[in-house]
Amino acid sequence: MTAISAQIPLAWAAEKPTHAVRILQVYSIALMVFPSDYVVRAIGADGYAAALVSYAMLALWFAGTLLGHHDALARRYPVRVTLAGMWAVTIASYVLMHRTSLTSEQLLSADRWLMQLAGMSGVLLVAAEGLRTLEDVRRVLRVLTWGGAFCGIVAALQFEARVDLTKYLKLPGFSFNSIDSVNAAIVQRGSLNRAFGTGTDAIELGVSAGMLLALAVYLLMYDTGRARWKRVIPVLCIGLSVGAAVSRSGVIAVAASLGVLVVSLPPNRRLKGLATVPLALGVTLIAAPGLIGTLASFFLAGDSDPSVAHRTNNYPYVEQLVRQAPWLGQGPNTYIPIELHVLDNQYLTTAIGFGLLGAAALAFYLACPVFVALAARRRAIDPELRDLCAALAGASLAAVLCAATFDGFSFPMFFNLQALIAGLAGAVWMMAHQDQNAMNTYQSGES
């Protein structure tokens, strides 16, 4: 078995990065380094750097398919089915919404959702169908995690010194978008500063960093062709982001992503992973006194916490709105929260705008990468591919859980990162299939 698993990765070896790798690397930098509240004014709120790259990816995918340079049907994977489901519900809800009863702001929001879904589609399709080898994935994850590390450094300065570097990260031709920037401010929670890094909100930062952490740990274990410090720094800086966000959702994301990865590791590595937990807690106590106590108090507060009570008190309000248009909702992304009814739950927000069918499609879209990555792990022969599948499953599970703790699709860093992870889940699904085929061929030759 060892000989087989050693031969398969060599057969996959890539001599140089493909076009898909290059554009996904550019996308990763745009996503993690350049704030989404700087936009091209002519395009509007969806004209931030990462979105522009994602639109280009979708256009290139379509062009390659139509011109015969890419056969989309040659590579089949379940995640694409969930994306098609999102498109089907979106189009049905968009066509059937009562435009006369909606405000101009709501109609504009529905149009923006179409752009948002188009960008997510470009990322998912290019990642799933353009990354063919483990080295392709590693090349993308290196840039993505170093972008996350940069975001962590920005967040650490915000947390410790209230110094905000994001105002210096504007690209030429971009301008400040005041609508999406309303939350981009260093605020306090308890006695601590809540950082947002290069995101638009502290919760978004915490959840995104929690999703990235498992992927950074995967590179730490397997990207041994690089110096150790180049693998350790992203793990440490992304971990800083989670603490600097002072967010329960961020803690949930870390627990989910690393939990799945650690449980899936071989026993010796699992013990090493568990042994780092008290070390990480000790470093946190020294570096950020009061952080663990503050977060613990938020978890222990339960329904007495105002933010939790606010969420649960909105359930009757959501039920009332859903009953008005139960199946396809009032229109995609047309729920505009007001101060008393900020839902902080993407599933509830989707149920209002897209109906119950839309909420089901969303749950399917978010959860599918978890099961796809775990299924790929079971089929994979190569140990590295198995652990990559586990890391992707953990990151995807974090997205599933945290979508119930904040309205994630209102935050560009979260939904764009989730789309990339979903695409990577599709890629490893096909790699595992190739792995299994190589195993079967090898066994047939032996017999």
CA distance 277 to 303: 28
Structure tokens at 255: 């627990």
The stretches of 246-338 forming alpha helices (DSSP H) are: 248-264, 267-287, 291-301, 306-313, 315-324
Give the phi and the psi of residue 187 in degrees, each rounded to 5. Answer: -115, 170
- Tens of pLDDT along 238-257? 999 999 999 999 999 999 99
What residues are paired with 119 via a beta bridge? none
Give the per-residue pLDDT at 278. Answer: 76
Q: In the chain, what percentage of residues exceed pLDDT 90?
A: 73
CB 203 within 8 Å of CB 311: no
How is the chain split into domains, by residue range? 2-446
Per-residue pLDDT of the chain (447 residues; tens, 9 = 90+): 333 443 334 333 446 789 999 999 999 999 999 999 999 999 999 999 999 999 999 999 999 999 999 999 888 899 999 999 999 999 999 999 999 999 999 999 999 999 999 999 999 999 999 999 999 999 999 999 999 999 999 999 999 989 999 999 999 999 988 655 444 566 766 668 899 999 999 999 999 999 999 999 999 999 999 999 999 999 999 999 999 999 999 999 999 999 999 999 988 888 888 788 777 767 666 666 667 666 666 666 666 666 666 677 889 999 999 999 999 999 999 999 876 678 999 999 999 999 999 999 999 999 999 999 999 999 999 999 999 999 999 999 999 999 999 999 999 999 999 999 999 999 999 999 887 766 666 566 665
Structure tokens at 71: 């056969």
Give the per-residue pLDDT at 17. Answer: 87
